Structures are given as C-alpha cells and as structure tokens.
Chain A
Amino acid sequence: KNEVEQSPQNLTAQEGEFITINCSYSVGISALHWLQQHPGGGIVSLFMLSSGKKKHGRLIATINIQEKHSSLHITASHPRDSAVYICAVLPTSGTYKYIFGTGTRLKELA
C-alpha cells in the first residue's frame, strides 16, 4: 500500500478552470510539500505546509492534519500550468527523508 496517494492521476482542464488535486497519506507527518515537475524533469517546490493554508498567486494549498489530507488548488488555470504536481510528506518518525506520491499530470487546454 502506498503511504502517499494522489488523485486524480491525470487531469485535463480548460483554461480558466478551478483545479483541485488531492493528497492523502497514512503516516504521521511533520511537513508536506507540494512540488511541480515540468516536462523537462526539473522539480520546483511550490509549498511546504505543516498546518492550515498557504496561498501564492493562483495557487492555494491546504492541509488537514487530523484527516491526513491535503489539497492543491489552481484558480483560473492556464496552459503554462501543465505539469506533474507531486505531493511529498516528511514522516514524524525521526527521518528527514520525504515520501513521494506518484504525481498528478495536469494537461491544460488553451
């Protein structure tokens, strides 16, 4: 069983849509990262969360520690948002290694 599950695996959206990507995890965590991976392969950190909500531009990330769930929202999506979005969690087990989800591939249609 995967410790970090993301849904959906694939997503196609029209420009301007409101997008939600979900991440559920089964372990206690001290932090959760949302990452963006472009077709070239490079990874960019979008948010690090341990509680509550963060917003940056059109991106909003929320986390519910009790529910072991986080969401990434993109408001007014744009073709340049096309990428793979990855959730990664840092367990509270005394380790500093992140456990990654399999990612959600977002394809934006102009």
Chain B
Amino acid sequence: EPEVTQTPSHQVTQMGQEVILRCVPISNHLYFYWYRQILGQKVEFLVSFYNNEISEKSEIFDDQFSVERPDGSNFTLKIRSTKLEDSAMYFCASSTTGYGYTFGSGTRLTVV
C-alpha cells in the first residue's frame, strides 16, 4: 500500500537554528498538508498546499514557517529560527481529493 514518507523520524536542534522537515507524498496525490502535535495535546492544522501554492494556513503558521515542493516529489516544511515551543511531532499528509488523508509517520522535533 502506498505510503507517505517523512524524514527524519527524530530531529534535535538548537534554539534559533533552521530546520527542514521532509515529506514524500503519495505520487498521484494533489493535496498536501502539515499538521503538528505538541506533546499531550491534540493534532493541529498548520498548512495545506495545492497546485503549487498554499491554499490555507493556520494562525500558528507565521513568518517563521514556509513550505515548498521543490522537485515535484518532496514536500518540505521549513522553520527558520526554531523556538522551544516548536518542539512537537510534525505530520505530513497527502490526499487525492482533499477528503481522505494518508498520514506520514511523523517527525519528532526537539528544540533545546
């Protein structure tokens, strides 16, 4: 069964550093998403991406965050200057229609 692949599975970074979280969505999917889950809290929407542009973003997704689909297969989330409160599990998801998602297994980001 096709999978959404996320790398790395765990990343530790110093506060203030830039991080790039990578995702390979399912090849024929058109809609791409990033969600995050702070430890002990519920999953929150960050951003959706369709037709090579952001279609929707949450209040969390401020100027520190950006997304790219650099080569037609990868979908990346960049955090420019990490803060302690960015520590969370980040999930990528993709979909053909925008309704049913396939989630990746997540990247656990720890900012120290």
Instruction: Note whether A and B form a binding pair.
Output: yes
Residues of A near any B CB (own CB < 8 A): 30-31, 33, 35, 40-45, 48, 86, 88, 90, 95-103
Report how many residues on chain B are interfacial, defined by Cβ distance under 8 Å.
26
A105 to chain B, nearest CB (A): 11
The residue from A48, A86, A103 contacting B100, defined by CB atoms under 8 A apart: A48
Give the interface SS of chain B, mostly helix, strand, loop or mixed: strand
- Tell me the complex Cα distance, A42–B55, Å: 25
Q: Is the interface of A mostly helix, strand, loop or mixed?
A: strand
- The residue on B at minimum CB distance from A90 is B99
User: Are A97 and B48 in contact, with the CB atoms below 8 A?
Assistant: yes
Q: Tell me whether B56 and A95 are in contact (CB under 8 A).
A: yes
Bound together, the chains give a CA A21 to CA B33 distance in angstroms of 27
Residues in B with CB closer than 8 Å to A99 are: 45
Q: Offer 24 A-B interface pairs, CB within 8 angstroms, sorted by A.
A: A31-B99, A35-B103, A40-B105, A41-B37, A41-B89, A41-B108, A42-B103, A42-B104, A42-B106, A43-B103, A43-B105, A48-B99, A48-B100, A88-B43, A96-B48, A96-B55, A96-B98, A97-B48, A97-B58, A98-B45, A98-B101, A99-B45, A100-B44, A103-B42
